[in-house]
Structure 1
């Protein structure tokens, strides 16, 4: 009997997809399906062995003449009325649930999708993110899950309610980059990388021109798709690389990195042991703000808030950050993706009563040892 594992991949930014890819590549004995919107945009990164089901967006279009936000539903985050895309995606999801069985569904992330799976009788593993998520919808999603998987180190945990702590498993942080204890040999002084995320950022062309003029002794290597013009009055100490599939060589030669507090960005900084200036962007449930606060408390990053970008003494901040030696030890774990894959197999085996899918004693202990106390 095939081992069917499906992942719901949220479309905001690229972090959810990269996380699902990292885990699924270790489930080589399973039949993997990704379900999500805008998966086609990342087709070059998704192996042919993964079945992809493209879901329409659940936001209203001009064709939705009877669209209404509807009365608030306390247990859901998003429940509009009369949106054709929402009806279609729900139909595709439930058709998949009906057609593929037995199935374990990993939700990264959506309260509504997690609850729809539970209502359809499909067991789930729900991914935990940072942020203020004590609201009723999140609590319902976590309660509905067999396991709640936190893809980061217990060093970065938040205070949780006892019942959630008991079903929460910290796999450790993981990154597409191998862990580097010492990445200093190729660094060039006064050279900074700027990572412009895909999920919305205040690091636009206007700001980058501002910081480059304020710190003319520095070279800024900019990676990502920028908002604003990059052609007018560009300082000579700015290098625009645009969107790159892998900026590792740039990151390794820069003495520090400026970026947002997206999960994958933080994990990449940890893996490469980089000095980091973090700009936490506004996200639902204050996800990036809380993550940046944790990094500040652990002395892993210098925090500059978006409203401070044009009031900051950048030459002083750059110099001070370059003089710091980061200590990211324990944030990224080389066994984290394997631990996540083991947890998925263990959960599948416990639900479907198959010893073939259970973990070995050593693997089981590793997962159990990652539970919150």
Structure 2
């Protein structure tokens, strides 16, 4: 029986959408639908994919909301009185009704996963690092037919419980999996990556590091500011569509320990200084722990940033052979696609 594979794509940051688009590319030959509030970022839409734009679930300007009612224990986000929230729920439940048979891949939202299950829609949840033992996550995980971890089983942290046994560990993948890094490496060039979800790697820190390490050249991606600093060893590139060439030249890369950044560094086999940021459920902290202790990789916590001897650290990491063994899996995307299709076929 023909079926639709729908994805709910969380709009916070860019990682969920980036991951989804890679999985979608491996689902050619199947009808795919993406639902989310951040889908206008998509510049190229494959012919087998349709979009459903959802309104944001936050109050509009001058909208009167009920602000004194916290979400119940079993939910993460359930504001009262917000029109956008009512509208998005109505749109999704109508999709569930009109496009059945349908299976929903949730990346990520406890509330959407539970809404789909209440509508009789089988779900698959993308599993992330972090402390997910709260009631809301446990309820969503329990309601799902399958959990898919886009990383290797060796990177899992936690007990081998019921949900561990329910998880398919696909192995890691990134947009750079097919990128050949055959550039000559500059032993004094360092790349600094600035993400969109909030970071301790700000202009003040970058200038501090550049001033304390005058023999190194720093290329900063994701930030435009800094032209007034007039430091000869510091260059800002802003948003870079294809950062691989710059990263390829660098002896090492600094960035946060978000999922995509970690996987991209593994794909490019780069020495890495990871800075875990404060995220819900300690996601980046746990991701950092999953790679900590490997050769050519160092984890620096935000409170250590101004107490680190950066020259010594750069020299130490540069002298080590980086170890990303078993992080990236060549068949990961096909494995994810097969897991989704096979789960759907159990129902349709």
TM-score tier after normalising by the smaller chain length: over 0.9
Q: 2:239 aligns with which of 226, 230, 243?
A: 243
* Local SS of the residue matching 2:229: coil
1:11 corresponds to: 11
Matches within 5 A, 1:190-339: 190-225=188-223, 229-299=225-295, 301-339=297-335
1:102 corresponds to: 101
Mean CA deviation greater in 111-120 or 300-309: 300-309
Matches within 5 A, 1:85-234: 85-160=84-159, 162-178=161-177, 183=181, 186-225=184-223, 229-234=225-230
TM-superposed CA distance for 1:244, in Å, is 1.4
Asked whether the 8 Å contact 1:59–1:83 carries over to 2, the reply is yes
CA gap 1:116/1:296 in 2 versus in 1, 3 angstroms: same
TM-superposed CA distance for 1:3, in Å, is 2.9
Cα separation, 1, equivalents of 2:123 and 2:337:
14
- TM-score computed with the length of structure 1 as normaliser: 0.89
TM-superposed CA distance for 1:49, in Å, is 3.8
* Local SS of the residue matching 1:77: coil
Mean CA deviation greater in 160-169 or 2-11: 160-169
- TM-score computed with the length of structure 2 as normaliser: 0.96
Number of residue pairs aligned between Structure 1 and Structure 2? 348
Cα separation, 1, equivalents of 2:117 and 2:37:
21
Cα separation, 2, equivalents of 1:336 and 1:2:
24
2:61 corresponds to: 62
Kindly provide the CA deviation profile for residues 183-217 of structure 1, in whole angstroms up to 9, marking residues without a partner as x.
57521111001111111111122211111111111
Structure 1 gaps, min length 5: 353-373
Mean CA deviation greater in 258-267 or 54-63: 54-63
Asked whether the 8 Å contact 2:157–2:286 carries over to 1, the reply is no
1:341 aligns with 2:337: yes
Cα separation, 2, equivalents of 1:318 and 1:8:
40
TM-superposed CA distance for 1:299, in Å, is 4.4
1:365 corresponds to: none
Structure 2 gaps, min length 5: none
Give the superposed CA RMSD.
1.7
Asked whether the 8 Å contact 1:179–1:332 carries over to 2, the reply is no
CA gap 1:339/1:282 in 2 versus in 1, 3 angstroms: same
Asked whether the 8 Å contact 1:69–1:80 carries over to 2, the reply is no
* Local SS of the residue matching 2:291: helix
* Local SS of the residue matching 2:228: coil
1:369 corresponds to: none
CA gap 1:19/1:323 in 2 versus in 1, 3 angstroms: same
Asked whether the 8 Å contact 1:127–1:150 carries over to 2, the reply is yes
TM-superposed CA distance for 1:62, in Å, is 3.2
> Structure 1: which 4+ aligned runs deviate by more than 6 Å?
none
Mean CA deviation greater in 184-193 or 330-339: 184-193
* Local SS of the residue matching 1:152: coil
